[in-house]
Each structure stands twice: as C-alpha cells, then as structure tokens.
Structure 1
Amino acid sequence: MDLLPYNNENLLINFPPLLRRNFEELFCHGKIGLTPFTLSDISFTKQYTENNSTYSYYYTLKIPYAGKRLSWELIFNPEDMCFAPDFSFNDDTFYMSHDLDVIVENVPSLMNWNVNDSKSLTNVLKEFLNLFKKQQIEKLHKENIYSQLCTEYQHLTEEVITPSDIEVYLENTSVHFVINIKVDLSSLPEYSQTIFSRRKDQSDILLNPGEDNCILKMSYIKLDGSRVNASLQLSPRVEQALGNAKTFHIPNYSKQTSLFEYVTLIGKLLRDQVKKVAQHYKLKKEYINCLCTMYAQNMIEFDSETFHKGVFLCEVGDYHCLVHVDISDLFPQEKPTVTLHSLYCASPKKPCLEVVEDYPYSPRWEPNMMLQKLKVYLVEATKIKDLANKCKHPNSRKTHALIKQIQKEKSRDKKKKSNNIKLNILGEKLLWFRDNLEPNCAIYTPKQTVELIEKYLSRFEEELEQIRIKHSIGNRKNRQHASREDIINLTIQQEREEFNSCGLEIPDVLNIPQFQLLRQWNGELRFLPKFKLKRYSRKYLEGSCTHASAKDTKQNVEKTMDTN
C-alpha cells in the first residue's frame, strides 16, 4: 500500500516529463499481475541531464509474480523518449525462447507504442508478464517432475479458479502458486482512511488501499507435497475488516489434501467470515442509528464510520450525566459497555464515572428493543443517583433506605437475568423442533417422534465435522476449538443418556393442540408458558410403536374373518 498525496508531482520528479503520465498510471491504477506494483518496486540505474534537470532513463523493475520478484530492466532512449523502450529480462530461458514473431504476436502494445497514451507502459508490462506466465505453464505440462502438480493445476482451473486468477512460477525443485480467491466483498465496511500529515505548506498524505482481493500463496518446497508453505494476503480494506494473519488464521496444508480441496476450504472460510463481519457491521450501524433517533436532541457525538461509539446527554429531573456507549467486536453476543460520566465532579484529574453492567440485554432483541430497555434502566438508575445526592449523612435513614433499595434492585435484576437465560435456551430448543417438523403432517406418531429426537441428537454433526476437517489439515499438536468441541460432546452424551433412561424433555408432539401450537408459534418468548413439555424415553416410544402395530394387525385379522 503506497503513500500518495493529492499532488503526485513530487513523486514523479525523477522521471522525464514525457513519461510521467505513464508512470503515474502504473503506480496509481496499473495492475500488472495479481499483486499490485508499488513505488518500492522500481529503482533508478542511469540518469541524464536536460535543461539543468536530472532525469532517469534506465530503470530496474521488480515485477511481483507468484510470490517472487522478477528483475526486469527498462531502458528508454534519452535522446528521444518517444521511442518504445528496450527490455533486459535477466532470464536467458525466457529471453532466448521467443523470437521476434512471438513477441509481435503476444506483445502488440510494444509495436504500437504511443508515449502520449498513459496506459502504454502498463499494457506492455502486462503483455510481457502474460507471455512469461504462458511459458511457465507450458513447462509445468511438459516436464515429468511436475506431473503431480500439473494434475492438481488442471483440476483446480477446471473446477474453481479461472486460469487468469492463478500465477505459476517454477524453480528447480519447487513450485509456487499465487491464487486469487473470488469472494463477494461488497458488504464489508468502507476502508477507514488515515491522514498522516496536515500542514499548511503540504497536502494531506493519504493511503491508497487499491483493489479488494484475497490472495492465497502456495509454495511447494518439495514436489511430493510433504512440505508446503501456505499464507493468505488480504488487501488493506479486507484486512481491516477481517483481521490480519495474527487474528484470522488459516489451517495448515497436509500431504493428504489436494490443492483443489484446500482452496475450496479457504474460500469457504473467507465467505463465512465476510458474512459474519457484514452482519456484525449492519447490526452496529442499526444500533447507532436507533441511538441517534432516540436521543436526537441530546446526542453529543457518534462514530459515523465504524459505529463503535456514541455519547449522549441523559437528563432526569435536575440530574445530568454523559452516557458513553461502546460497542465491541463481539456485538451482539457481548452487550455494549455503558459508562456514566458525572457532570458534577469537582476533580478534573479524576473524573467521576461508573460502568453500568447489570442493565437488561439479550442478543436476540432488535437494536431498537435493546435501547428501549437501556433507556428505562437509565431513568431509574439516575433517579437513584439524584436521591443519593440529597442524602447528607452516611448513617441517615434515607441513606440506609437507599442502600436497601439498591441491593433489592440488584438482586431482582440478577434473578431476572438468570430467568432470561433459561428462557433463551428453551426458546432455541423449541425453535429447532418447530423448524424440523414434517410440513404435511397433522400429528406425529411414536415412530416419527423417535426419528425426530434422533435428528435432534445429531444436530451438531455438521459443526463437529468442520472441526475434524480443521484438525486433519496439517500436523496440529494442539486442538483448535477444544472448549467448543468438549461442550458439544458433553451435551450430546447427557441428552442421549436421558433419552435412553428417564426420557428427554421435548414439546408434546403427540398431542394435537400442542402440536398445532408449536407449528403456528412465531418464535416470541412471551408465548413459552403456553407450551407443555413432556419427557419421552426410547423404551416408551418404541413400546408404543409395537403396541400400535399389534393393534393394527389384530384389527386387520378381525376384519378378514368378518368378511369370510
């Protein structure tokens, strides 16, 4: 990522005036390969003097390709810059393998060079790089030592990746791939720009984030796949949203995994993470918008880019305080941090503040409902603080009554929070059963109930399979997601033991009114008291199935005898 001021003339001062538009296009908008070309990839080798000014005409370019840097020399004619440049590739295998006819066919921009066209230099470099890539792919197909990786490459380009989105570089005993993984990144938040300097005599220096992409680098150090280095390179905007290599980990590559399977897995991980971040960003934005709407006249400030923070003035009677609402990256699973800043603090060095921790909150609520509950709680809390300011003596009756009231409210809120957690767990359980009912079934039979419970007991299989896949990739010594895996296994074991012994508590799907109530339920927790849960064991349900089958057989026999 380059530093680019609004005025680029100071960066182009060493280039001849006639070529500056070409180099500006190359630095700002020109993308030669999958990896962008930056200012640090060019160096000045030879110079000439014209009109008391010194310019360069001989340049060394470090072309990024497949995780490597190709050293190419770009040479212009100092006597007439209108002529097309010469190239020295420092690679005899590439330079000697192509005659003039091949270059004319594959690099037409060099033959049609026009120095007044700002894209001329970028087009020439692109075409030469495509010719180099074509040579590498032909070598991959022809030489026998690369036969295994050639098969991997063909499978990958036929199923997942287009040939234009992959770069191949061959060395003596190693092969390097750079793969552009296509992911829809339009839902991610915009790149948060940073201004580096703001002086009167200088323009603001801004970062150029470039295009959004996700680049996977694969280096086969050993051709049999026993030693492979894999890394993920994200563009600045994507890295700012998803995290860098330290926070967003990818699984290691193993010899038993094909390149196609590994690229597919990385693509799925990226898409899942993008979806999660986009949903998180959408909820934060909606939360701050609701906060601004609710406290429109009292709003002091809010973060309009990342939506992490909002500050408003809370007024209850004669009491005033500033309320700081900070939203973490785990929202809505983790509730926002609410801090009260007093306006009556006498010491400016030690501001009087208090973090509100026990206000009502549920991640299942809509942002508007979250703020409504917070508003009611803040009104009650500030009333108590206003009363506390009027209590003069710590041993007065008013003070003791206030302490008793605060303790009573804390105990009530703690009990209410515990009840809300239980209701949320029960609500999620009933939602699962509602969503997995047979669509055209009026009432469940004991046999169908057994099948439904077995499906419920195996509801974590997909998540466990994903954890097993991550463990199988690479030689991991530590268990990733160990705590989550242990909780799932313990839950399944406990529920299966209940089903095989005393019975598992589920909605009464054998009861017609309860079955219809479950099917028509809209998911609101306030309707939970209407449901009657019942414990069903495997022995009871299978016995009911046998009894029903014997009863049907007896009725059929009696019907046959009556007919005879």
Structure 2
Amino acid sequence: MDDETILEAFDPEIAKFVEVLLKNGNVGVFGGSIRVLEPKTGQYIISQKGCCDRFRVQVPFAGSTLTWQVIFNSVFPENPPDFMFGPQERTFIPELENVKSLVNWDASNRDCLLVVIKELIHLYKEFQENLLRNYSRMQFEYTSLLELDTGKFNDVELLLARKGVRDTSVNFLIKLPVDFSEIPEFLTKDNPGEDLAVLLVSFQNVESNKALPQLYLSPRVEHALGGSASLRIPAFPTGGCLMDYVPNVCELLENMVDQLVKGYQKRSEYIAAFLSHFGRSVLEYDVESFSKISIMFEMQDFYFTMHITLPAYFPRDQPEFMFQSIYHTGTHSKPYTAIVKDYPYSPRWSGNEMAERARIYLNEYIPEFKRASVSQIRVR
C-alpha cells in the first residue's frame, strides 16, 4: 500500500498526523523511517474511504523494529491517541505525566503525533537502560563506552530482546562520530540525505563474550567510500570490549575518509603536474574528480595516445597507463592498446616528480610499444 492510498484510508482529521509520519518520520540513531501499517476503523458502519482511525507503526530502534498500535477516535479526532505496545515491550508502561507532548496534545499542530512518538522512543531508551542494570557484564560494556573520550560515543541505542525462556540477546547501535564534511562533493552530490555511520554490535546473550558487529552507512557515505565491498571491519575479538573495539572501527573509518580526501587532493596535484609537463599534448582530462587524463604524443613520426586512470585511493594505489596506437588495430579490429602497471612509482613522490618520472619512462617504453603495435604483438 503506497503512501497516498494509506492517507486516503484515514479520517481527514487524523490523516494530517499520519502524513507527517510518512514524510518526516525519521527517528533514531540511524535516522530510519517510521512505517505506517494496517489502517483500520473502530466504527460499526464502514465506508470505502476516510474512516480509519487506528493503525500500527513500525519504529526502527537498536537494529530491530518496534511495532506499536496507535488508536484515535474518529468521532473525536481532536483527542490524543492511545498506544498499545508490542509483546517485547509488555513491561514498558510509561507514566502519562512523563509523556509531556501527549498531556499537552495540540490537535492544531500537524507534528504533534510525531513529537509524541519521539518522546516515547526516548522513554523507551531509558526503559532499556534500566533493564540493563540487571546484567553487570552488559552494564559495564555500556557505561565504559559512554565514558570514553568525554562522551564521544554517547549516541547509543540498546535493546535487550528475549530469545527464549533463559536467553536474552543485547544489541548496541552506536553512532560513529566521523567527520564526512571534507569528502569531495562530486562523490556525494547524486545521493541526498545525511552523512552517517553507525555500528551495530549484537551479543548472543547477556553473559556472552562473543558479538557480531555490522557497519551501516548512509547511501552518500557508502557511495563515496566505494560501496560495501570496500568496507570490511575487523571481527569482534572473543573476550573483547566495546570500549576497545568501537574506537578502532571509528579510527578505521576516519582513516578511509582521510585517504579519500588526500587522494582527491593528490589527484588534483598529479593532473596539474601533467598539464604543466605535457600541456600542449593534453587531449582531455577530468576536471571534477581528476581521475583521468588523455595525452597525444609523437615520437619519430609515430603518433599514439596515452590514457592515465587514477584510482580512488591514489597515491596509495598506482595509476594505470594505457597506450593506444592511432594506426594499428588489434583483436576485434579495435585500436591496438597496451596497459602498463609496472612502471617506476612511489606514493611518496610529489605530483611533479611523478610526471617527470613518467616522461623518462615514456622515452624508454615508446620504441617497444611502436614495434609491438606494428607487429601486432602485445607487450607487458
């Protein structure tokens, strides 16, 4: 059921609250969306549309989903709703006076239901913190993490979930305070939203010294860092602690961002150096990401092009040189090419030195490439 169909099912005076949930209901450490499900009515006479006054909401919390029922009365739609919590929250019974936004319900404010849900989430977090006090091992994990670096890792959601008669698993969802603001804009411009990184650490039970960690990134950050395949975090060590593990993962991510930013700066320097050394011969180059440059060369009446591709994590990773003849064709009648990756290179060189070393290498390599292109034998 799409959002428009859902809204049509509700009484108009209630639909305005639901619409805010659907459009702006991002909550929690990772900013997940609130989902609205199963619109129903408490009326005896049911029309086709516009009569529903109760529904379920799914709220993301600590790597899991809370399912609560919201109950309005379409006869008195201006009245505040009632809430029924799920079986996992059967002991979560907040005092009404603690839900200030519900006590001071203002039906003229379209955001009032969202405000109530956010306040209930905050109270639910406090409820989970109180439950954790019964388990000394997990309480230590939580408090020691919060005390690190004057509250650097204090944006945490935790959830104790009963798995059976005896077992209770524990989730910690931790926002990693990584600064993504220096990531080049071209890597994030096509992915709207916030830049976020959160770490979910799941303990099998309250006494376990084993945990499963999972890193979640917002689409902008994941795209900028090269996709999920590039993001491998270390396993949680047996007997390890959150206070040691979480800063390590945070530092790993910070280093990746730092390499990405410095790589962009070094690619810019590299392209500028090649423009300086081979300016009149340059055919084109990437002015946004500085990831490619193409140059036309002539040596002893032999003309060819050189295409240089710079990797995202340059200068750690070496650029690729592709030489292409403008005369000869290789397999499938395509221009004859040769790809070179074993030329002299050091990530510690300046862009200017890299360009100068490339010039020296060209003088040595071109005769070999010319002979190979003429004879149609690939080299290197």
Do both share a fold (TM > 0.5)?
yes
1:133 corresponding residue in structure 2: 125
Spell out, residue by residue over 1:1-43, the C-alpha distance to the aligned partner (whole angstroms, 9 max, x if none): xxxxxxxxx954642587888667656665311122237x433
1:337 corresponding residue in structure 2: 320
2:199 corresponding residue in structure 1: 216
Spell out, residue by residue over 1:68-109, the C-alpha distance to the aligned partner (whole angstroms, 9 max, x if none): 1000223455567665444332248567622322223xxx26
- 8 Å contact kept, 1:33–1:64: yes
| 1:49-88 alignment runs, 5 A limit | 58-76=54-72, 84-88=80-84
1:113 corresponding residue in structure 2: 106
Which stretches in structure 1 are left out of the alignment for 5+ residues? 1-9, 195-205, 395-409, 411-564
Residues 322 and 245 of structure 1: CA distance in aligned 2, closer, same or farther (over 3 Å):
closer
- 1:34 match: secondary structure: coil
2:144 corresponding residue in structure 1: 155
2:37 to 43, 56, 62: 43
Q: Which residue identity does 2:36 align to in structure 1?
A: I
Cα separation, 2, equivalents of 1:386 and 1:222: 67
2:295 corresponding residue in structure 1: 312
Residues 37 and 12 of structure 1: CA distance in aligned 2, closer, same or farther (over 3 Å):
farther
Cα separation, 2, equivalents of 1:303 and 1:109: 56
Offset of residue 283 of structure 1: 1.6
Residues 66 and 78 of structure 1: CA distance in aligned 2, closer, same or farther (over 3 Å):
same
- Residue 251 in structure 1 maps to residue 234 in structure 2: yes
- Residue 182 in structure 1 maps to residue 177 in structure 2: yes
2:165 corresponding residue in structure 1: none
Cα separation, 1, equivalents of 2:329 and 2:280: 27
1:165 to 155, 159, 168: 155
Spell out, residue by residue over 1:186-243, the C-alpha distance to the aligned partner (whole angstroms, 9 max, x if none): 233447469xxxxxxxxxxx754x3222212122212222332222222223333445
- 8 Å contact kept, 1:32–1:122: no
Cα separation, 2, equivalents of 1:21 and 1:373: 66
1:370 corresponding residue in structure 2: 354
Q: Which residue identity does 2:125 align to in structure 1?
A: K
Q: Which residue identity does 1:46 align to in structure 2?
A: K
Cα separation, 1, equivalents of 2:259 and 2:351: 17
2:27 corresponding residue in structure 1: 32
- Residue 124 in structure 1 maps to residue 104 in structure 2: no
Residues 51 and 356 of structure 1: CA distance in aligned 2, closer, same or farther (over 3 Å):
same
- 2:356 match: secondary structure: helix
Residues 288 and 112 of structure 1: CA distance in aligned 2, closer, same or farther (over 3 Å):
farther
Cα separation, 2, equivalents of 1:256 and 1:213: 28
| 1:94-493 alignment runs, 5 A limit | 97-104=93-100, 108=101, 111-113=104-106, 117=110, 119-141=111-133, 143=134, 146-160=135-149, 161=151, 165-172=155-162, 173-190=168-185, 192=187, 207-208=191-192, 210-242=193-225, 246-292=229-275, 299-315=282-298, 319-329=302-312, 331-345=314-328, 349-357=333-341, 359-375=343-359, 377-378=361-362
Which stretches in structure 2 are left out of the alignment for 5+ residues? 163-167
Residues 54 and 369 of structure 1: CA distance in aligned 2, closer, same or farther (over 3 Å):
farther
CA RMSD of aligned residues (A): 4.1
Report which of the two structures shows the higher radius of gyration computed on alpha carbons.
1
Cα separation, 2, equivalents of 1:257 and 1:388: 58
Cα separation, 2, equivalents of 1:231 and 1:290: 41
The alignment covers a number of residue pairs equal to: 363
Cα separation, 2, equivalents of 1:257 and 1:139: 22
Offset of residue 167 of structure 1: 0.9
Residues 314 and 123 of structure 1: CA distance in aligned 2, closer, same or farther (over 3 Å):
farther
Q: Which residue identity does 2:37 align to in structure 1?
A: S
* % identity of equivalent residues: 29
Which deviates the most, 335-344 or 61-70? Answer: 335-344
Cα separation, 1, equivalents of 2:52 and 2:276: 59
Cα separation, 2, equivalents of 1:370 and 1:191: 25
- 8 Å contact kept, 1:67–1:217: yes
- 8 Å contact kept, 1:319–1:382: no
Spell out, residue by residue over 1:252-289, the C-alpha distance to the aligned partner (whole angstroms, 9 max, x if none): 33453233222233233333333333323322233234
Residues 272 and 116 of structure 1: CA distance in aligned 2, closer, same or farther (over 3 Å):
same
In terms of fraction of residues, the more helix-rich structure is 1
Residues 354 and 137 of structure 1: CA distance in aligned 2, closer, same or farther (over 3 Å):
same
Q: Which residue identity does 1:176 align to in structure 2?
A: N
Offset of residue 367 of structure 1: 1.1
Cα separation, 2, equivalents of 1:121 and 1:314: 68
- 8 Å contact kept, 2:153–2:176: no
- 8 Å contact kept, 1:190–1:237: no
- 8 Å contact kept, 1:312–1:324: yes
Q: Which residue identity does 1:130 align to in structure 2?
A: H
- 8 Å contact kept, 2:69–2:83: yes
- 8 Å contact kept, 2:92–2:127: no
In terms of fraction of residues, the more strand-rich structure is 2
Q: Which residue identity does 2:201 align to in structure 1?
A: M
Residues 52 and 66 of structure 1: CA distance in aligned 2, closer, same or farther (over 3 Å):
closer
- 1:174 match: secondary structure: strand
- 2:125 match: secondary structure: helix
Cα separation, 2, equivalents of 1:83 and 1:302: 64
Residues 333 and 246 of structure 1: CA distance in aligned 2, closer, same or farther (over 3 Å):
closer
TM norm structure 2: 0.76
- 8 Å contact kept, 1:19–1:115: no
TM norm structure 1: 0.54
